[in-house]
Structure 1
């Protein structure tokens, strides 16, 4: 599929967008994946075979109160609503690219405001990828999402246990969003059939100044070589 990333991708580099798409939906524009929370039943979804089926699934999941991700970039339903997009539009390739890269850029701006922690472009990209998937600048390291995207980018990564050790050390400022934001709480689990997490959340960019034991992302060696 030829993707109109230059026209619809809000300036995000095409290789990054393509890698996110592979990690999130494997290039399926009709993909729908549910984020099941504590107390919710796991719905049985048959992969949509058409746009109409995808729209019907999304409409039903919204009516039943689920959080879910849609389309090529697996944009979370909270962001679809926040951006004022209908489900009929959300599965359109250009619209989905536009929404997904809007969320990506929001998180990238937040990472850029914390240059003392993310002090290279590579670290800022990795933190942004983490937030895109989980709403947190560190949880996407722990769940393996960041390294999955890096592999699609063709970049070498260190063994996952080494990387997890790096990101579970303590740091001076929390890189997590508050649990009041949509789709992010301790009861959250992701549908492994698709994205593995949230494609963004209700809003991006602002960090809470808490100090729980989170990640230390200061040493370049911990994150692999890169600028």
Structure 2
């Protein structure tokens, strides 16, 4: 399964162009990518088994890690229902990333930039100041990696898009900015608020429907 199809299947509440850009900034599309926050290094195990073993070892040593396509922070695994055994499944990982992003948008200010900033830093502005949001936007027009992903199960998403919302945002200036990619940053995601409202997360580029 290619990345765009995988996103549409496993993270249907986020526009594929938006989630693709986050994945490319976070992991470059590598399903077993690990960021060791304690030593600030990126690891790329070749197999899922190696990734699971590496994650277990780092966690046992007291390290905080980000894992998988969407680089889900280990401090969030409990409320997302993840473990070293499940976080490297591409579909489960993307579903978790979708949940974090949707919950990030459900906090004021209700903007795409603030949601993407929170995905990176847990703060509505820090991810803008540190350049993360601009880097994500710079990935939006770029093609996904030529990689096929294998998934075991398609997780049932708890969110039901009964009240879809389309968020319009002009990205022309940001897309033109010369913002190159960096190493996978550590995430600082907050748990969701219980009253967070589900919706369909869209980023619309100047007449282009990202969904």
Residue 202 of structure 2 corresponds to none
* 1:8-40 residue CA offsets vs partner (Å, 9 max, x unmatched): 10411110010000000000000000223xxxx
**How many positions carry a matched residue from both structures?**
162
The residue matched to 1:149 in structure 2 has which SS?
Answer: helix
Residue 30 of structure 2 corresponds to 28
Q: Which has the higher contact order (CA 8 A, sep 6+)?
A: 2
Aligned pair 1:91/2:109, yes or no? no
Aligned pair 1:64/2:61, yes or no? yes
The residue matched to 2:35 in structure 1 has which SS?
Answer: strand
With over 3 angstroms needed to count, the CA separation of the structure-2 counterparts of 1:46 and 1:33, relative to structure 1, is closer
Unaligned runs of 5+ in 2: 142-170, 195-204
The structure 1 residue matched to 2:76, chosen from 73, 79, 90, is: 79
Query: Shift of the alpha carbon at 1:147?
Result: 0.1
With over 3 angstroms needed to count, the CA separation of the structure-2 counterparts of 1:23 and 1:45, relative to structure 1, is closer
- Residues of 2 paired with 1:11 and 1:46: CA distance? 29
The residue matched to 2:37 in structure 1 has which SS?
Answer: strand
TM-score by length of 1: 0.64
- Residues of 2 paired with 1:23 and 1:44: CA distance? 15
The residue matched to 2:172 in structure 1 has which SS?
Answer: coil
TM-score by length of 2: 0.68
Residue 136 of structure 1 corresponds to 123
Q: Which runs of 4+ in 1 moved over 4 A?
A: 43-46
Query: Shift of the alpha carbon at 1:75?
Result: 0.6
1:80-159 matches, cutoff 5 A = 80-111=77-108, 114=109, 118=110, 124-154=111-141, 155-157=171-173
With over 3 angstroms needed to count, the CA separation of the structure-2 counterparts of 1:53 and 1:100, relative to structure 1, is same
- Residues of 1 paired with 2:64 and 2:190: CA distance? 11
Unaligned runs of 5+ in 1: 37-41, 119-123, 161-191, 207-224
Query: Shift of the alpha carbon at 1:156?
Result: 3.4
With over 3 angstroms needed to count, the CA separation of the structure-2 counterparts of 1:202 and 1:109, relative to structure 1, is closer
The structure 2 residue matched to 1:201, chosen from 186, 189, 207, is: 189
With over 3 angstroms needed to count, the CA separation of the structure-2 counterparts of 1:95 and 1:157, relative to structure 1, is same
* 1:132-158 residue CA offsets vs partner (Å, 9 max, x unmatched): 011111110111100001111134335
Residue 2 of structure 2 corresponds to 2
Larger Rg: 1
* 1:202-224 residue CA offsets vs partner (Å, 9 max, x unmatched): 41459xxxxxxxxxxxxxxxxxx
- Residues of 1 paired with 2:41 and 2:130: CA distance? 23
1:165-176 matches, cutoff 5 A = none
